[in-house]
Chain A
Amino acid sequence: MSEEPLVRWDWIGRNWPTIQGLLADHIVMALVPIVIGLLIALPLGLAGVRWRWLYQPTVGVMNVIYSLPSLAVFIVLIPVTGLATRLTVMVPLTFYAMAVLIPAVVDGLGSVPDHVRQSAVAMGFTPLRRLLQVELPIAVPVVLAGLRVATVASVSLVSVGALVGRGGLGYLFIDGWQRQFYTPIVVGIVLVVVLAGVADLLLILAQRLLTPWSRARGSA
């Protein structure tokens, strides 16, 4: 065992198709919940801004959900969604994403300066157009900051799903542990971190594209 190198490159070469499959599975299970979470968080966040009294209870519930351990939730869901299915992992991750994104949407819309909103009203923007063309674009940096946190967390959390039979790259940790073999574990850790990094970079890029004015002003 002491002779065993941390990484056996030939193992990676031989198992590359399997690793690719796990990577693809991982990407789907990490990112679909983020997309769905955002789609749900946007209307809920808007409702929280429109009806202020709704916001505190929503955040309270989301805080409770966020504090539930992922492994525990996966297990409680097994009787409903089945062992080793993608759904068992993706449903809790969707809720975690919402827990991060709803406050981000509310804070983002709250960051719209009052004079900007009033200018839009004075220019004759209807409420819907004001939302789509003025308020949401200004909220983008705050929402994207939340999106970055949620995405990185999601990518990392999927691997815990390996304990209930469906964890994308997390399978490599279980495999390496059971065979007392470093290489799959190292490969898994590196790929998860790289995947999170790439997703994060794409979101930073999206922010640059969506908020051209921050570049024009010369402040990133």
Chain B
Amino acid sequence: MNWLIDFFGDPVNWSGPDGIPARLLEHLEFAGLSLLLAMLIALPLGLLIGHTGRGALLVVSIANAARALPTLGLLVLIVLLMGVGTILPVLIPLVALAVPPILVNTYEGIRGVDPDLRDAAYGMGLRGRQVLGRVLVPVALPLILLGLRLAAIQVVATATVAAYVGLGGLGRFIIDGLATKNFPSTIGGAVLVALLALLVQLGFTLVQRATVSPGVSERQTIR
């Protein structure tokens, strides 16, 4: 506890390019951009293979294998190959981390929709794309959001390793603290990252409440 007071109580930690606000912004930039890129790749692909069923086995197998990629290894390899001129070396491993959960959950969500519902939608005269947008996506939304939430949490947590190769973000407090045996900084950084991850978790819970149809989430039984 004293370490935390040392860290958060020190005004030096609250200003300048090494301060908490600046590092937090960097962290959010890494995590936000990676998540956005991962969504742009994984959501359309997941919807496509979930809806058509084509190439699903191949795509899902690749995505599951990609889950095993160690982010730290990927990061140091890419930085050695490309240098650290831009933030691209951080984005690539983080995107690789975020795509599988979004892709697999979107696919499973769409594919898992009750076939009767799908048939009913076609029977009502909806076309392929309308069925996807008006029936399949709303029904699959809890699983899609779960995938996004898992991806977001992992990205926020893992963006800390960017500091190991000299890039910014909240990981700097952790890695620099470890290197200089500054324990308050290390613990303080760890607590900040954990708080951020919890906020993301809370944010997604709220988004889920707001966007998932009451009929789907069983908050309201349909008679």
Chain A residues with Cβ under 8 A from B67's Cβ? 149, 152-153, 156, 196
Known A-B contacts A63-B201, A69-B160, A163-B161; the reply to A186 vs B77 at CB < 8 A is: yes
Q: Mark A50-80, 1 if CB is under 8 A from B, else 0.
A: 0000000000000110111111110110000
Q: When chains A and B are docked, how far (Å) is the Cα of A71 from the Cα of B154? A: 12
CB-CB contacts below 8 Å: A107-146 with B: none
> Is B174's CB under 8 angstroms from A177's CB?
no
Known: A163-B175, A189-B77. Contact between A67 and B68, CB under 8 A? Answer: no
Cα of A219 to Cα of B92 in the assembled complex, Å = 38
Least Cβ–Cβ distance between B178 and chain A, in angstroms: 7
Cβ–Cβ contact A180 & B193, under 8 A: no
Q: Is the CB of A173 within 8 A of B76?
A: yes
Chain B: CB-nearest residue to A64: B198
A160 CB-CB contact with B under 8 Å? yes
Chain B residue at minimum C-beta to C-beta distance from A83: B178
Interface string of B178-211 (1 = CB under 8 A from A): 1000000011011101100110110000000000
Known: A69-B197, A72-B194, A170-B73. A176 touches B80 (CB 8 A): yes
Q: A72 with B201: in contact, given A66-B153, A192-B73 (CB under 8 Å)?
A: no
Instruction: Let me know if A188 is at the binding interface, CB within 8 A.
Output: yes
A94 on interface, CB distance cutoff 8 Å: no
**A38 within 8 Å of B (CB atoms):** no
A41 on the interface (CB 8 Å rule)?
no
Question: Is B8 close to A, CB under 8 A?
Answer: no
Decide if A88 is an interface residue (CB 8 Å cutoff): no
A193-B72 in contact given A163-B175, A182-B80 (Cβ < 8 Å): no
A67 and B198 contact, CB distance less than 8 A: yes
B185 to chain A, nearest CB (A): 11
Which residues from A are CB-within-8-Å of B164?
Answer: 163, 177
Report yes or no: B64 in contact with A173, Cβ–Cβ below 8 A. no
Q: Are A156 and B68 in contact, CB atoms less than 8 angstroms apart?
A: yes
Q: Tell me whether B190 and A188 are in contact (CB under 8 A).
A: no
- Contact flags B84-107 to A (C-beta < 8 A → 1, else 0): 000000000000000000000000
Counting contact residues on chain B (CB < 8 A from A), the size range is 35 or more
In the complex, the answer to whether A75 meets B174 with C-beta atoms within 8 Å is yes
Which of B79, B161, B175, B201 has its CB near the most chain A CB atoms (within 10 A)?
Answer: B161
Structural contact, B73 and A196, CB atoms closer than 8 A: no
| Nearest chain B residue, comparing its CB with the CB of A155 | B68
The answer to whether A185 touches B193 (Cβ under 8 A) is no
Which residues of A lie under 8 Å from residue B156 when comparing CB positions?
69
User: Using Cβ atoms and an 8 Å threshold, which residues of chain B touch A89?
Assistant: none
B68 touching A188 by the CB < 8 A rule? no
A150-192 contacts to B, CB under 8 A, are 152-153, 155-156, 159-160, 162-164, 169-170, 172-174, 176-177, 180, 182, 185-186, 188-189, 192
Please name all residues of chain A whose beta carbon is closer than 8 Å to the beta carbon of B189 when the two chains form the complex.
Answer: 72
Residue of B68, B76, B193, B197 near A177 (CB, 8 A) is B76
Question: Is B44 interfacial (CB 8 A cutoff)?
Answer: no
Evaluate contact between B190 and A152: CB separation under 8 angstroms: no
Do B80 and A68 touch (CB < 8 A)?
no
Q: Does B1 contact A (CB under 8 A)?
A: no
Q: Give Cα A71–Cα B67 distance, bound, in whole angstroms.
A: 18
Does A200 interact with chain B (Cβ within 8 Å)?
Answer: yes
Are B80 and A193 in contact (CB-based, < 8 A)? no
Instruction: Give the CA-CA distance A53 to B170 in the complex, in Å.
Output: 38
Cβ–Cβ contact B201 & A188, under 8 A: no
Please list the 6 inter-chain residue pairs (A to B) with the smallest Cβ-Cβ separation, ordered nearest first. Answer: A69-B157, A196-B68, A72-B190, A177-B76, A159-B70, A67-B197
Interface residues in chain B, defined as those with a beta carbon under 8 Å from any beta carbon in chain A: 64-65, 67-74, 76-77, 79-81, 153, 156-158, 160-161, 164-165, 171, 174-175, 178, 186-187, 189-191, 193-194, 197-198, 200-201
- 17 more contacts with CB within 8 A, not counting A153-B67, A173-B77, are A67-B200, A69-B156, A70-B157, A72-B174, A152-B67, A156-B69, A160-B71, A163-B161, A164-B178, A176-B77, A180-B80, A182-B80, A185-B73, A193-B65, A196-B67, A197-B65, A200-B64
